[in-house]
Amino acid sequence: MDYIYSILTLTGITMIGVMGTYMVTGLTGQFSFGQAAFMAVGGYVSAMLALKFNVPFVFAALAGAAAATLSGLLVGLPTVRLRRDYISLVTFGFGEAIISVLNNSAQLTGGAEGLVGIPKRVDLPLVAISVACCIFVVACYKNSKYGRQCLALRTDELAARSMGIDVNRLKLVTFLFASAITGYAGVLYAFYAQYLEPGYFNWTISAEWLIIVFVGGINSLTGALVSAAILTSLPEMLRFASAWRIIIYCVIVLLIINFRPNGIFGDWEINRLWKKKNNEKQRTPGKGAQA
């Protein structure tokens, strides 16, 4: 039972991180190889505050998310102006830079040996509620002017600008929102696993999240979540050794790219199930101008 709990908890935390990646890559088309670094920032800052300054969990968590958002600003400001190819490099570099900073600050962070003794404040219920809240705000974001403008600029930046869309500002806002959420995922992880190590947050984690979003379908939040749930929990439950699990991920992705490039879910969202009924209720016949 304990084991299932831990898998569910870790899956939930991953889902939150994946939602950040979904927003940055799925919604705005920016290929960020450094999302995991925001998780590291959130986790480490909140953990250190709790450990060294006895800051209560709630404030440490807020501080962690805030710190992650701040680093999102630092990375985002230059990044949103760059060409697509450069974004992956810069975010990758940022991720590696963060890891090397964490590794080299042994005094503060425990260095490569890790930060131990973080108090346990996070358990499955909190994670479940967090996941639900994050899904709500991210889905609302997607269904708002922000989401639409992001998808517009993702598919055609030039046309988006011609519609008056402030492309750079939108990319930045989305990036900040994503880093806040990912930072929060880091906080949850830190106070659950009670141990942090810089090596946990390297670019392969970011790459895995990217792959998860793609398998689900970059246009679909539902797809990203389902894909995260399956690709995280299944291998854990089947006790694959990590290299084999990754190889299977890769083969799945290659199959999907070749044969179902829109991802498993394409652009299907779960709210289509109940949206249709609402639409029929709302519209009254006879409305709308005649040409």
Q: Of 209, 168, 164, whose CA–CA distance to 22 is shortest? A: 209
User: By CB under 8 A, what part of segment 167-226 binds other proteins?
Assistant: 167, 173, 177, 203-204, 207, 210-211, 214, 218-219
Angle between helices 84-104 and 57-79 (to 10 degrees): 140
**103 makes contact with other proteins (CB under 8 A):** yes
Q: What does each C-alpha distance from 164 to 33, 73, 113, 153, 261 come to in angstroms?
A: 29, 23, 50, 11, 31
Of 52, 83, 239, 277, the one binding other proteins by CB under 8 A: 83
Residue position matching structure tokens 């709210």:
271
Nearest approach, Cβ of residue 174 and other proteins (Å):
10
Question: Applying CB under 8 A, does 116 fall inside the site for other proteins?
Answer: no
Write the interaction track for other proteins spanning residues 3-42; mark x where CB under 8 A is met and - where it is not.
Answer: --------------------------x-x-----------
Q: Which C-beta is closer to other proteins: that of 50 or that of 102? A: 102
Q: Between residue 269 and residue 288, which ones bind other proteins under the rule CB under 8 A?
A: 282, 287-288
- The residue among 82, 76, 90 whose CA lies nearest residue 171 is 76
Cα–Cα distance for residue pair 210/203, rounded to 1 Å? 10
Indicate whether 108 belongs to the interface with other proteins (CB under 8 A). Answer: no
Window 137 to 166, contacts with other proteins (CB under 8 A): 137-138, 140-141, 143-146, 148-149, 151-152, 154-166
Return the amino acid letter for 211: I
What mask of x and - would describe binding to other proteins in positions 240 to 259, judged by CB under 8 A? ---xx-xx-xxx-xx--xx-
Report the run of H or E that residue 196 belongs to, with start and end.
strand 195-196
| 70 contributes a contact to other proteins by CB under 8 A | no
Nearer to other proteins, 140 or 238 (CB): 140
Q: Minimal CA–CA distance to 202: which of 87, 72, 33, 12?
A: 33
